[in-house]
Amino acid sequence: MHIMSTFEHERLELSRTGAQPWKLWGPYLSERQWGTVREDYSDNGDAWSYFSHDQARARAYKWGEDGIAGISDEKQRLCWSLALWNGQDPILKERLFGLTNVEGNHGEDVKEYYFYLDSTPTHSYMKYLYKYPQAAYPYDDLVQRSRQRNRAEMEYELLDTGVFAENRYFDVFVEYAKADATDILLRIEVANRGPDAATLHLLPHLWFRNTWWMAPDAPRPILRAGKPHKNAAVVEAQHPEIGNYWLYCEGAGELLFTENE
């Protein structure tokens, strides 16, 4: 009997035995943390109204994080995701948008186009695709038109808004490849599918989930600018549980740091 053996099989065995933590990092960042029972502290159990998509950009989560094409360690302590801006939207595209249970004529419904294209079992390689319109994202139109439809009618989809007319959108590919269990290479590739030149701003985010809110005296992690390396800007991340990590950003512009508390 022939037993198949590949590099991925070897990585799986190293992970199983605990020799190398090949599954420590993966696509563990939530797609949606807003509007979930995990973040619901309302008196009436109305999770959708208590924490909306609109609030998420200015309000801290307690039990998780979310983002586009994101990764994190297995306990979601250090997180990375990609934010986008097409120059037309009133807000950054930091997370997926969808209808709440009361807004959709068939209940909750994500209104985005994104695809998980590939992944190995240890997440040593992953590929993700997000389709981002070049025109302003029709947040209000999706909500208002969907509310007008009853359960017997078809859903009002993002394509129905006309925002993808003439293929005026970006294909945003995000690829991950692990050099080893804790060394991750990342590539972002953007393709303009429309007939005209268009601008897209890429804003990679690196942050810590707030695990210290219940213990104010607990040691806090640190994010700071590191010494530039060749043509790469460097962000140093120090965490009391997972140790030190460095994010190298080739061709990056200015590094921006915020304190969201």
Quick one: pLDDT at residue 148?
Answer: 95
Residues whose CB is less than 8 angstroms from the CB of residue 76 and which lie 6 or more positions away in sequence, other chains included: 28, 29, 30, 64, 65, 209
Under the banding of pLDDT at 50, 70 and 90, the label for residue 231 is confident
Q: What are phi and psi of 50, to 5 degrees?
A: -70, -35
Paired tokens of 65: 């994080």
Write phi, then psi, for 130 (nearest 5 degrees).
-125, 135
pLDDT of residue 3: 64
| Structural tokens at position 6 | 């590949």
Query: Residue 254 in 3-state DSSP?
Result: coil
Q: Taking the model in full, what pTM does it have?
A: 0.94
**Residue type, position 114, single letter:** Y
Lowest mean pLDDT among 8-22, 48-62, 68-82, 165-179: 48-62
Q: Output the pLDDT for position 1.
A: 45
The number of residues in the chain equals 261
The pLDDT tens digits for 128-155 are 999 999 999 999 999 999 999 999 999 9
Evaluate whether 208 touches 240 at the Cβ level (below 8 Å): no
Backbone angles phi, psi at 159, to 5 degrees: -65, -30
Q: So what's the pLDDT on residue 2?
A: 55
> 66-76 burial string, b = 16+ CB within 10 Å, else e?
bbbbbbbbeeb
